[in-house]
Amino acid sequence: MQPLRITIYTFFIFICLSFSTVEKPYYHKVPAHSGDDVKSFLKRYMLFEHDCNIREFYILNKLKEGTTQLNEGTKYFLPVLIYTYNGKSIRSTVGLEGWKQAVRIKQYNEVLKEKKLRQQTIVNSNILWVPFHELYCVDGKLKEKLKTERPDDNPQEVVVVVVDKPADKPTETSTADKTLNKDKLLSKAYRHYPIFGKDHAYIPLKTNKLQGKVFYIVGGHGGPDPGAVGDRSSKQLCEDEYAYDISLRMVRNLLEHGAIAYMITRDPDDGLREGKYLKCDVDEYCWGNKKIPLSQKKRLLQRSDSINELYEKHLKQGITDQTVITIHIDSRSKNARTDVFFYHYPGSKDGKKLAKSMQKALAAKYKKHRKSGAYSGTVSARDLHMLREVKPTTVYIELGNIRNPTDQTRFILENNRQALANWLFEGLL
């Protein structure tokens, strides 16, 4: 009986190992070459074009966002999942439904073999390399075609991270070898955006309504410039903090519906905030980890240049539907009440059309929810830098008077900040 037991046990172990290999793909780890930075390292493996690969690279290797230089000889995790090929098909190995997706993965492995980054074919090695973006990214048109040439640009914020599904909220997998339990993966992968803060970083994809569209959301002022300043209950209200929080909520809405969305003004640690009184600080920076200058002219040029660089990048990729929304809070005498109002650049038909659409959405919401009178927000033309100098269609929004006590309730209450973000988002739709 002993040999039989051993045989059965061995067979059992074989079956378990077979299943564990299929169930737990792992991330590939390779050493950096001399002179490598993140860009060259990922371009070598055809991963740099998809921005979520870049973000995943930082997360996998616990690198600070914006780190560029890598250490020669140090091994880094690549956003490439390694599967044991089952000998039948790529689709059944990975659990895919799409034939085109499987073809792209096959082509990816073949190109890496030609570049001598893979030593053997899939069939000969029984190893399948699957780039992260093929499984978990939402990149609009970028996902339609696998390219071998990569544009020279900076990574964007759009990011997808594989997460487990605990009882309360999703958390990033944290095993030492970054293995993934396929049974526990969410049916609809959450995407991970640290900029929203620890408690709000994971975002599901609800729809693809805005797939293939790019939005640049700019919270006014920031860094050394707090913008307009009000006071309430002996607390200081800084325009840049409230404009930033509403902008961030708006970006979240855009991402939930498949858009590519950038926060141009950024704060490393604020995230989405609760409560009435948001602490004033000066640690905001501009997209691309650029320090915000004190000079207003330099500050505005920095933002418009950043947007225009991203605009040209996406234009080369064939994405023409690009929009800028810049959000401010006005400052007038305490007695002056204002509704949310909109500016577009003089002569911009698309800007005027979008501004009116957003105004119309707000008017409908206020008609339903406001008891104190009709909404009176206006749409008008104005020659402002952020309307004149950026290439995409742009709308400039003023949310109210930061010094007026009634207007202040529009943005100091968290629910109102979320409502504004939701209503403005509906206007974009």
Per-residue model confidence (pLDDT) at position 253: 95
Per-residue model confidence (pLDDT) at position 65: 76
Cβ pair 377, 359 in contact under 8 A: yes
Structure tokens at 415: 């629910």
What's the pTM? Answer: 0.60
Per-residue model confidence (pLDDT) at position 390: 98
Among the listed ranges 198-202, 337-341, 400-404, 408-412, which one has the minimum average pLDDT value? 198-202
The fraction of the chain above a pLDDT of 70, given in percent, is: 82
Per-residue model confidence (pLDDT) at position 189: 53
Per-residue model confidence (pLDDT) at position 138: 54
Per-residue model confidence (pLDDT) at position 171: 31
Per-residue model confidence (pLDDT) at position 55: 85
In whole numbers, what is the pLDDT of the chain averaged over residues? 82
344 or 172: which carries more pLDDT confidence?
Answer: 344
333 or 138: which carries more pLDDT confidence?
Answer: 333
CATH for the 206-428 domain, from 3.60.20.10, 3.40.630.40, 3.40.50.920, 2.60.40.2140: 3.40.630.40
Q: What is the pLDDT of residues 83-137, one digit of tens each?
A: 998 888 998 888 887 788 888 999 999 999 999 999 999 998 889 999 998 887 7
Read off the pLDDT of each residue in 270-287 and give the average, rounded to a whole number.
95
| Region(s) of the chain under CATH 3.40.630.40 | 206-428
